[in-house]
Amino acid sequence: MPELNSEQILSHGVPAWRPEALDVIGMDGFTVHGPHGVLEQEKIDGHDFRVDCRLSVDTRSAGRDDALDRTVSYADVAAIIQDVIDSPSVDLIETLAARIAERIHAEHPMVRSCMVRISKPTAPIDMRFDTVFVQIQRDAPPVRAILAVGSNMGDRAAYLQLALQELERAHGIDLVAASATIETDPVGGVEQDSFLNAAIAVDTTLSPWQLLDLAQHIEQVAQRRRIVRWGPRTLDVDVITWGELQLNDPALTLPHPRAHERAFVLHPLADLEERLGTPITLPGRSRGVPDLLADAQDRDGIRPGIEVVGYPSAPAGGPAHSAPAPTEDG
């Protein structure tokens, strides 16, 4: 593959990435008796409420491996509906619908949007009707995710700049912060050039697998070729964390299975912590990033990075280097 200059790398002509539509899990006709209504008699006698739901979920992984823990259980949603309708009396079915949606999003973060419809067929109306209902649509709040980027082929600075550019163009992504860059010795036993590494924090409405799709799309835009495992690459984009989710999927393990032991990941994460003013956790790990970094075997292979457009040129005051960063011709 001929080596590209920075202008060729960044002016590639590939359209901005858009996620594929999520799948829908539907549940209709849950009927629960509850003491809700404006009139005092409704609070005494109650009504039978019918609840229908539509949940937007990325079911690809669950369907591929027949894995219940990677989707949403009907029984769990039914329990939420039962619990909300069984709760103390409220006047409005709007309130019930909102509480059901809030609980679904709070307890099932992989649900990225949900529709809740509550029907009240015995509403106290003095005329013939089939039912009255309220239908709401609620999107899940964005999730904080961390990506690690690295390059050791061609114009490394341009490839890291490309990662930021494509994240900024992508739908469902808000850039939050990037770490300063570091230069690192390669790990994995393959003889190759040094890497330029960094970490990026984003807020995203994407599912974990959609975020993986985006990461792989950015690698394809960078014309990455997967020939040798842990070998040289134009651009590596790894999903390190997606909220507090722990996931054991052959295609996507969260947090990244080697993040806790790799200084080239932990060092930029420590820098991000300083910039964000809040700890970055690797779900399932009791130790914080600075402690993990102190024990990382490849820590001695870290050196000052170079200046890259979009990335801070100096460390935030954590363990990163304090010397001015050199530049790299592109």
Q: Which run of H or of E encompasses 176?
A: strand 173-178
> With contact defined as beta carbons under 8 Å apart, do 130 and 121 qualify?
yes
Rounded-to-integer distance, Cα 98 and Cα 112, Å: 15
Question: Which one from 70, 105, 120, 233 is the annotated catalytic residue?
Answer: 120
- Within a 10 A sphere around the Cβ of 78, how many other Cβ atoms? 15
Token couple for 180 = 């300063």
Rounded-to-integer distance, Cα 38 and Cα 99, Å: 17
> With contact defined as beta carbons under 8 Å apart, do 111 and 58 qualify?
no
Cα angle, residue 86 at apex, residues 81 and 88 outer, rounded to 5°: 125
Query: In sequence order, which residues have a C-beta less than 8 Å from that of residue 149 and are 6 or more positions away?
Result: 160, 163, 197, 198, 199, 200, 235, 236, 237, 238
120 is known as an active-site residue:
yes
Rounded-to-integer distance, Cα 158 and Cα 62, Å: 37
Give the residue numbers annotated as catalytic, written as ranges.
120
